[in-house]
Amino acid sequence: MATKVNSSDVLSLREALSMEIIINQALVDVLVAKGILTQQELMTKIEEIRKEMAV
């Protein structure tokens, strides 16, 4: 049987995107602070992924 979803339990797209941005930034900050990766390595990888997605 289907359960009716309470609208107050559903995140808006804006809220979900904001949370994703916050989580990603926190992860990057921790990885950089621990010396696991550098900002340059991150930027290089982002550019690689952008190029792959453009194909």
The pLDDT of residue 36 is 97
Residue-wise over 9-44: b if at least 16 C-beta within 10 A, else e?
eeeeeeeeeeeeeeeeeeeeeeeeeeeeeeeeeeee
- Identify the band that residue 10 occupies on the pLDDT scale cut at 50, 70 and 90: confident
Radius of gyration of the chain from its Cα atoms, rounded to whole angstroms: 17
CA–CA dist 55, 50 (Å, integer): 9
Which tens digit of pLDDT belongs to each residue from 21-53?
999 999 999 999 999 999 999 999 999 999 999
pLDDT at position 31 is 97
Contacts of 11 (CB under 8 A, 6+ apart): 19
pLDDT at residue 6 is higher than 90: no
Minimal CA–CA distance to 42: which of 23, 22, 27?
Answer: 27
Give the per-residue pLDDT at 8. 73
